[in-house]
Amino acid sequence: MSHAPTSFLRKYVFSEDHKVIGLQYMFTGMFMGLFGGFLAYIIRSQLADPGSAVAGFGEVSNVDYNAMVTMHGTIMVFWVAMPVLVAGFGNYLIPLLIGADDMAFPKLNMASYWVFALSTVVIIASFFVPGGASGTGWTTYPPLSANSMYSAGVDWGINFWILAVALEFIAFLMGGINFLTTAVNLRAKGMSLWDMPLFVWEEIIATIIFMLSVGPLIAGAVMLLLDRTAGTGFFDPTQGGDPLLFQHLFWFFGHPEVYVLLLPALGILGEILTTCARKALYGYKMIIWATIVAGLLSFVVWAHHQYVTGMDPRLATPFSVMTILISVPFAVTMFAFIATLWKGSIRFTVGMLFAIGMVAEFLLGGVTGIVNGSAAADIYIHDSYFVVAHFHYTLFPIVLLAPFAGFYHWFPKFFGKHMNRPLGLIHFAGTILFFNMTFLPLFNLGMMGHQRRIADPSLFEYLAEGAYLQEIATIGAIGLLLSQIPFLINIAYSLLKGRAAGPNPWEGTTLEWTTESPPPHGNWSEPVEVFRSAYWYSPPDTEADFIPQNEPVQEAAK
């Protein structure tokens, strides 16, 4: 075991401890989440009352609006979901769940966070460069993004966008190497791959998907940068290029990316549902195989984002079929989660409520995805608010509900203190209520023919009909933001005055609960050994799956 660092700088800033790095990622993501949420407030206020000043911001020009939409999407995916779900929880939990004292490469881990921190500075700086933040949409499609002739040359924001995303990818590739090596090499004595808790499996499958899909997007980004700065014409038809090429490169990454975010979220759910239902995880191996199948399928569905680009309709059919097929493994996972709850003696902690809420809301997102995935339906609803509603019903549960669940669940482990329950319940109720109030009306708007990315719907007579729905959605969004205040108060209050939690407040059976809260540097004073061969949630020969396991069934060597 390495010696614990003593200076403040080595302990909390340039730390090599996976737990500190995990929390750094988590809190950076949380800060960016507030930032991205504020952008959503500007967008929604403008849509409800076009043309008038937005309180706290001023009037929103069309250029501003495009930048807000672009940066909201960009920040929520790359600077909230990725750092919180993949890096934050991944860093904190992987070593603890497999009985390791730290990540395989602690220095690389520290470098990963600081490259990410730099990317955060760059993306924030992009608001202040000539031309302001990128307004090309989070997908940065050319020709809009490629050629200065569309933007009179003052669009440094796009270069900053590309640089920031590139830096973030470097950070996550470094993190990914660490996750894989740690899971393969540093498991506790006695723990096979098939004994690893679900969260670890989900994280490493997500990491592999990320590593395999990110290459084409990096190539696309380099070509885009060359088109913008060196006069090449990869995406410029007048020079023999093709803007559609970028869409293929982007979505070859972009669709798998959804699973890079989804899988850690499912992993968090798996841990919380089993712990708080006090039951074995139903179908542990089945879930993992389903996840691997979904991971493979995720590489052959990307063109479902491009049905209306003029691609060959014969090609649309296989992409539709694959897209609808990919819902099967996730349906398997969801049913396994529900079966895990079945006849459990459920402890409704705030974390558990968020976990159950996540399953319920995400189902709505998944089911509406089947509608979008079919080319015949998508050609009608493409680029409408139906799509906006659909992906917020998938991404909000993934990016916010699952991390909230995880944060409440492991907060006692992170800091050795309980969070305040009444404040947590207010946070939960407000979040779920206002989330639905914000996004349910958007399905209707989409069906009514409202197109997204129109800064001022009042300019179009046919859009007037949906104005009241835009207003409801905006009230919902403001309520949703305000509902986060009790959460922030709760963190501060619980850190200062929270009840002491002890090592295992939820009677969990995974290894992180066998050490102190917060775990010391090195996690355990002695190397951990696991005596039970089978995965403890899911003993072989099934029926046992249904027996509540209240007592910890594996022991760590002392």
State the residues that interact with Cu ion by CB under 5 A.
255
Helix (H, G, I), strand (E, B) or coil at 186: coil
Minimal distance, residue 392 CB to Cu ion, in Å: 14
State the minimum distance, in angstroms, from the CB of residue 304 to Cu ion: 5
Q: Which residues contact 221 (CB under 8 A, 6 or more apart)?
A: 162, 165, 166
Nearer to Cu ion by Cβ, of 228 and 255: the residue is 255
* Nearest residue (beta carbon) to Cu ion: 255
Q: How far is the CB of 305 from Cu ion (least distance, A)?
A: 5
- Which pair of tokens denotes residue 209? 């998907």
SS3 sequence, 45-64? HHHHCCCCCECCCECCCHHH
A 10 A CB-CB count for 31 gives: 14
Q: Which residue has the tokens 């403008």?
A: 46
User: What is the rounded (10 degree) CA torsion for 156, 162, 165, 169?
Assistant: -150
CB of 71 to Cu ion, least distance (A): 21
Listed residue (130, 170, 355, 340) closest to 265, CA to CA: 355
- Both tokens assigned to 165: 């995303």
Nearer Cβ to Cu ion (5/254): 254
C-alpha closest to that of 282 among 543, 30, 510:
543
**Strand-pair partners of 189:** 529
Cβ(398)–Cβ(81) below 8 Å: yes
The tokens describing 312, both together, are: 């060959």
Sole residue written with tokens 């992170």: 414
Give least dist CB 105 to Cu ion, A. Answer: 33
Strand partners of residue 445: none
**Least Cβ distance, residue 258 to Cu ion (angstroms):** 6
Q: Which is nearer to Cu ion, 320 or 470 (CB)?
A: 320
In the bound complex, what is the minimum distance in angstroms from residue 166's beta carbon to Cu ion?
22
**From the DSSP assignment, how many helices (H) and strands (E) are in the chain?**
18, 0
| 547's tokens | 């027996």
Which is nearer to Cu ion, 258 or 280 (by Cβ)?
Answer: 258
Q: Which residues contact 399 (CB under 8 A, 6 or more apart)?
A: 76, 77, 80, 81, 84, 85, 261, 265
Q: What angle do CA 76, 326, 432 make, to 5 degrees?
A: 40
| Chain position carrying tokens 């493979």 | 296
Q: Which is nearer to Cu ion, 291 or 494 (CB)?
A: 291
Q: How far is the CB of 89 from Cu ion (least distance, A)?
A: 23
Q: Pick between residue 221 and residue 258 the one whose CB is nearest to Cu ion.
A: 258
Residue 323 beta carbon to Cu ion: minimum distance, rounded to whole angstroms: 7
Residue position matching structure tokens 């023999």: 240
Shortest reach from residue 452's CB to Cu ion, in Å: 16
Nearer to Cu ion, 92 or 385 (CB): 385
Residues 6+ apart with CB under 8 A from 285: 194, 538
Q: Is 388 or 419 the residue whose CB approaches Cu ion more closely? A: 388
Torsion sign, CA atoms 400, 402, 405, 409: negative
Pick 298 or 490: Cβ nearer Cu ion: 298
User: Smallest distance, Å, CB 224 to Cu ion?
Assistant: 20
Between residues 255 and 427, which has the closer beta carbon with respect to Cu ion?
255
Q: Are 227 and 162 in contact (CB under 8 A)?
A: no
Residue 187 or 255: the one with the smaller Cβ distance to Cu ion is 255
